[in-house]
Chains A and B, each alone.
Chain A
Amino acid sequence: MVGKSLKKWWPVFVLPTFIAFVIGFLWPFIWGIYLSFCRFSTVNDVEFVGFDNYKKLLDPVFNQNFGHAFWLTVLFAFLSTVLINVFGFLVALALTGKFKGVNTFRTVFFMPNLIGGIVLGYIWNTLVNGLLVSFGTHLTLKTSGVAGFWGLTTLLLWQQIGYMMIIYIAGLNNVSPDLIEAAKIDGANSWQTLIKVKLPMIMPSITICTFLTLTNGFKLFDQNLALTAGEPKKMTELLALNIYNTYYGRAGRVWMGLGQAKAVIFFILVVAIALIQLRFTTRRETQA
């Protein structure tokens, strides 16, 4: 009954969102796929070239470090996912304890999350450069790719541990006290309770957190741009920034189509990783 009377009202209820969705996502997305098969520099000089852009990506003259950015992003995304989740979980475990100041500590850990990527990047740019000098090295973020990579990893840890901590705390609080009590009566020590009872019970939280950190790691752009901008010599350039630079970094008709082709590959990669990861961890969930 509700459905029937609601249906006639579609121009009010669903049309505005749908139109905005078409303007803001659907049309640009479809057009974007089409443009990856074209050569263009503005919307007025589009010329269809088939798979030419994709073929050029295999050519080092044209691909502008795409391979390096690709593997760097894969490494970065997996490394940051593991570290953020391990530390996020450990902090959550500690801060579900009952000692003085727990709530304040939670507040502090979560805080960096509210700050935007560009601002975070400049905060850490200042901090990392200062640290490099105080430790007596002659390096800066402009000259050391290694410092840039670990700086970016630390930045992301600092930003996201708090977020994942909140989700893990919610998960841990949902573990029924009866279950833990039962484990204790059966003679389990606290380590065994953690591994055999708590961990399987919070598998849903682990699924969500790894999903979020993995996709965030792959899509990272603002922090990368502000912290290192890919310096030195594009050594710290992740995929999203690589695409952006291919698109807008150089003049000439060849680059935009190439950038769009890279974006399509990037999109397929992100969706594929997200799907594989979801399937992998949700399967563990049902077993638990």
Chain B
Amino acid sequence: MSTKKKILNRVATVFFTVISFFWMFPILLIFYNSLKEETATGTSTIFKLPGKETFVGLEHYVEAINDQGMLSAFGYSFIISVTSVLLIIICCSMAGWFIVRVNNRWTKMFYYLCLFSMAVPFQMVMFTLSKTADTLHLDNPFNICIIYLGFGAGLAVFMFTGFVKSVPIEIEEAALIDGCNPLQTYTKVLLPILRPTIISTAILELMWVWNDYLLPQLVLDTNKYNTIPMVIQRFRGSYGHVAMGAMMASIMIDIIPIVIVYLICQKYIIKGVVSGAVKG
């Protein structure tokens, strides 16, 4: 490598290190302010690091959990995300396989309806969907996954049909000849082949469900159940004084698990984004 190139590479590293710091700064800002006394988080003092007088430790975190119901919100967000993604993966991988292999007028129509649903903005169905959910008693964290299956089916069916098309049909034929019924063929042959697509789809759907605000806000019985985005939005929704400290602690309670999961599963997440985009 020439010296000129070496210097250029060094400069690039320094440049991007600085940019990276600024890129992370909004999150760092919320983090160190969540450790400060609330009077020190006004707009004029927000950039000051916590000092001896202003540092309050995890006080705001305790406040967020005890007074704002962040713990139960975390639990509900978790239940909703896990059940919805599991249901989407199981049902849509089955449906995707069925659509590709049966391939008649009805499956094609369903496929195009799924594609269409991806383009429709949520505001179009927000009122009617919440009323439908009320009527069918889907307004609690345990049944809401059915709504998510219906609204998330578009992307998942699209991803799975895209992948199944590239799977050689001979493997499935061999399994059927060996006496497997379609359900056994699905669990024993298809599921292992679909693994990469399952991971990608699960990640994309998980990012959506975990962060979704308006759907659970309109569908869930808000007196009983709250998800994390709903609790955070409620801070300003209440009149007058906003509990800035507890709010920033709540934001960190939302972000920290996301960052941990991201750092562990980074490879899969990046792959998921790329394959989702290539097929989308």
Contact = CB atoms under 8 A, between A and B. Distances in A.
Q: Which bracket fits the contact residues of B?
A: 35 or more
Interface stretch (B49-57, B66-74, B128-136, B193-201): B128-136
A62 interface: no
Given A1-B176, A29-B125, A115 B101 contact: no
Interface string A9-27: 1101110111011111111
A115 B182 contact: no
A257 to B, nearest CB: 10
Interface in B31-81: 33, 43-44, 46-47
A180 interface: no
Nearest to A22: B150
Nearest to B146: A20
A243 interface: yes
Q: Which bracket fits the contact residues of A?
A: 35 or more
A282 to B, nearest CB: 13
B124 interface: yes
Interface in A242-269: 243-244, 247, 256, 259-260, 263-264, 266-267
Contacts of B120: 25, 29, 267, 270-271
Nearest to A170: B274
A6 interface: yes
A58 interface: no
Interface in A158-177: 158, 163, 166-167, 170
Contact of B26 (A13, A101, A123, A256): A123
Interface string A85-98: 00000000011011
Given A7-B102, A25-B153, A32-B124, A274 B119 contact: yes
B262 to A, nearest CB: 6
Given A13-B97, A35-B128, A140-B43, A3 B213 contact: no
B20 interface: yes
Given A21-B117, A116-B213, A122 B232 contact: yes
Given A21-B113, A134-B47, A119 B255 contact: yes
Interface string B239-265: 000001001100100110011001100
B151 interface: yes
Contact of B182 (A5, A24, A140): A5
B123 A215 contact: no
A7 B99 CA distance: 10
A266 to B, nearest CB: 6
A23 B136 contact: yes
Q: Which 6 A-B residue pairs are closest in the complex by CB-CB distance?
A: A24-B150, A116-B211, A99-B9, A28-B128, A130-B46, A20-B150
